[in-house]
Amino acid sequence: MTPLLATRINLIGVLGISGVLLGAYYVQFVEGEFPCPLCLLQRLAMLGVALGAMLNLRYGIHTRHYGVSLVSAVFGACVSTRQILLHIVPGAGPSGFGSSVMGLHLYTWALIVFATVILLIGIMMFFETQFEDSSENRSAKSIGWFVKAVFFLVVLIAAANVVTTFLECGIGQCPDNPISYKELF
């Protein structure tokens, strides 16, 4: 695998995570469902996954950048698993927090995303040629306008996450089952 191909795969990964986070904001603002504290932690973990890939885009492909994404994905998978286990109620019919998307709750989808990220990073690590410091890798470090736009999108999503979390939780503990923005009402 060439460094340029690895860079493109990382760019696709950042776009995918951004799409997932934008989908979560759609559920929050359009469908009116407030994220619970565990959902907020999953969003934070997804931003960590995106950060590792963005580091690869900006500074070239390195194992430590994959490490940032991998640790974030493992953390997110643990949080997602915890939330899934909290809502398993045998024989009680459909249960869970929030509405479902294609039959699965958002936290279940989050676990699928995190497990996929862990698997893909594991596969990417098999290709050592992506880590070579060639002229192709150095040219990958120069950021084009599209990559800058993707960076701006992720920074915008992260800033929105900070603002909406503050509006929902204030400076104290977030409510277990949020029904409004604490700082607006």
Whole-prediction pTM: 0.87
Question: What are the residue boundaries of the structural domains of the chain, listed by start?
Answer: 3-169
Stretch 27-55: mean pLDDT: 93
Contacts of 8 (CB under 8 A, 6+ apart): none
Mean pLDDT of the chain: 86
Q: Is the pLDDT of residue 134 over 60?
A: no
169 band by pLDDT with thresholds 50, 70 and 90: confident
| Phi/psi at 112 (5° precision) | -60, -45
Binned at pLDDT 50, 70 and 90, residue 130 comes out as: confident
- Token pair 């469908």 is found at 31
Cβ distance 62 to 56 under 8 Å? Answer: yes
* 3-169 maps to CATH 1.20.1550.10: yes
